Amino acid sequence: MNILFLGDIVGRPGRTSVARWLPKLRRTHPIDFVVANAENAAGGTGATPDVLDELKRHGVEAFTMGNHVWSKKNLLAALARFPEMARPANYPDGAPGQGAIIVETSKGVKVGLLNLLGRVYMDPLDCPFRAADLALEALRAETPIVLVDMHAEATSEKIAMGWYLDGRCSAVLGTHTHVQTADEWIMPQGAAYITDVGMCGPLHSVLGVDRNIIIDRFLSGMPARFELAKGPLVLSAVLLEVDEATGRARHIERICMRESDADANA
């Protein structure tokens, strides 16, 4: 089967890029299932029920999250409405939501999703490696197809997770840093890997934020309120081909759709 995984969707610009390009990608690529990281989808921080519903209307079928999962409090009250959303599995016991989920595609194929949060330069949560050990056994009892979203800052932690889980999942896909890396490959025991899928959002930005705000912050050393950038859009994703019987990845392809200045101003 073919699975499209969209990188971090950043605010309204990211949602617009999904609305614009996802239907086209479905026409030009054999896509059976669409997953997106939505932890920045509402105003650049967190997600709301309305935003997740909007992305579902655009064709996203399942969601992973990250360190901003609890930024919008109204999502907490609506978690039961979104069984297709995985939050980081290495939150302590008792945290709301689920870190490992099974989602059934329109063709009746079960796909496991595991969301993990890195600890290097991030929140001091439980160990993501040990959380993966606990979650994968249950997921693989349901389906051989399991995608792991490793939401982390450090490339070393993401790469280490890829090696740690190779042979036990279909893919380890890095998110959080919003810059698509060029290291996609199929690991020796069959897991697809990329250090970061990238983002869906404003192209002329610093990780989605207005570039002038970030430049001024670097120059002055003073705090500033972040605002999302305007202008041309980008959609970053990977397309995976996975063997339904074994769960091994056969192929991983980077996708990057960029809007020109002329298109943005039209």
- Of the pLDDT bands very low, low, confident and very high (cuts 50, 70, 90), residue 131 is very high
Closest C-alpha among 2, 250, 242 to residue 146: 242
Domains of the chain and CATH, by start:
2-203+233-265 (3.60.21.10)
- What positions carry a catalytic annotation? 68
CA distance 200 to 182: 17
- Does residue 262 have a pLDDT over 70? no
pLDDT in tens, 142-158: 999 999 999 999 999 99
- Of the pLDDT bands very low, low, confident and very high (cuts 50, 70, 90), residue 139 is very high
The pLDDT value recorded for residue 23 is: 96
With contact defined as beta carbons under 8 Å apart, do 186 and 252 qualify? yes
The pLDDT value recorded for residue 260 is: 80
pLDDT in tens, 63-113: 999 999 999 999 999 999 999 999 999 999 999 999 999 999 999 999 999
Residue listed under structure tokens 């399942």:
62
The pLDDT value recorded for residue 200 is: 98
The pLDDT value recorded for residue 18 is: 98
* Percent residues over pLDDT 90 in the chain: 95
CA distance 28 to 205: 28
Of the ranges 122-131, 147-156, 196-205, 243-252, which one carries the lowest mean pLDDT score? 122-131
